[in-house]
Amino acid sequence: MVPGTRLVVLGKQGAGKGTQAVRLARHYAVPHVSTGDIFRAAVRSGSEFGKKAREFMDAGELVPDDVVVGVVQERLSQNDARLRGFILDGFPRTVFQAEALDELLPNGGVELVIDLEVPTEVVLKRLASRRVCVECGTNYSIEKPPSDPEKCDVCGGKVVQREDDTVSAIRRRLELYEEQTAPLIAWYMRKDKLVTVDGIGDPDKVTARLIRAIDLRLRRGADA
Ligand code: ADP
Ligand code: ZN
């Protein structure tokens, strides 16, 4: 993979974006930039900024565009992302954010946008059983808990249900996804940057599918 890989992973809440984005970042040796993780870290730090973000997050609402764009701009201006590229997870989530991202990036914006596709019935089930490490963000589920049910296998942190994984917040986030984020699929398709990957099945298989789809598209781009 050439340096400067700039990818976006799109998908509904619970599609597996976070899990897969971490693996892709490792595979392509680029930083994983998750706006959700950035906001959760701000909440844990107890800063004023974190307190504000928390009100939106717990209600399942989006953090205002200008705030999110500021955070992403700051993160992408750091050396690792500037030199090696990045995998964006959870951003952009609105057309406004996608336009802002294009402006932030030199030479033509992101290379490729992956839509990780999973039907709503499936994500609803996954979200209700999702558990997460408060320290490192590793995802677990009721079906696949860590070996000590409340302790993260990776870092020993506490494993809990996310504050925004309540039924009403989940419903609201999916509604916002349809309204604000789903239009990005057509938006990136028009720019010929979209690739759709089936997110159903064993996580390792999904990872393999993603890597295959990305390599195919990026290679095609390089050969053209
Ligand atoms: P999910 O995809 O399950 O909602 P994330 O971890 O990506 O979880 O995000 C958690 C919350 O952080 C969102 O519900 C929202 O409040 C806020 N957030 C994250 N990314 C964005 C974004 N790009 N724009 C607005 N709000 C965001
Ligand atoms: Zn952990």
Please write the tens of the pLDDT for every residue from 64-82: 999 999 999 999 999 999 9
- Catalytically annotated residue among 93, 126, 131, 193: 93
Question: Measured in angstroms, how far is the CA atom of residue 171 from the centroid of ligand 1?
Answer: 14
Residue 40 annotated in active site: no
Q: What are phi and psi of 195, to 5 degrees?
A: -135, 135
Between 3.30.70.1110, 3.90.230.10, 3.40.50.2000, 3.40.50.300, what CATH number should domain 6-219 receive?
A: 3.40.50.300
Question: Measured in angstroms, how far is the CA atom of residue 5 from the centroid of ligand 2?
Answer: 27
- Nearest residue to 15 via CA among 157, 130, 183: 130
**Residue 220: per-residue pLDDT:** 56
Residue 162 annotated in active site: yes
Question: Measured in angstroms, how far is the CA atom of residue 62 from the centroid of ligand 1?
Answer: 6
Q: What are phi and psi of 9, to 5 degrees?
A: -110, 120
Euclidean distance between the first and the last CA atom of the chain, given in angstroms as a whole number: 16
Residue 173 annotated in active site: yes
C-alpha 69/C-alpha 63 separation (Å) is 10
Report whether pLDDT(204) > 80. Answer: yes
**Residue 114: per-residue pLDDT:** 98
Q: Which of 8, 13, 32, 99 to mutate to test the pocket of ligand 1 (most atoms within 8 A of CB)?
A: 13
Mean pLDDT, the chain, whole residue set: 92
Contact by Cβ (8 Å): 207, 23: yes
For 138-180, write each residue's pLDDT tens digit: 889 999 999 998 999 999 999 999 888 888 889 899 999 999 9
Interval 10-25 mean pLDDT: 94
- Catalytically annotated residue among 6, 17, 40, 54: 17
Interval 9-26 mean pLDDT: 94
**Residue 160: per-residue pLDDT:** 95
C-alpha 64/C-alpha 161 separation (Å) is 24
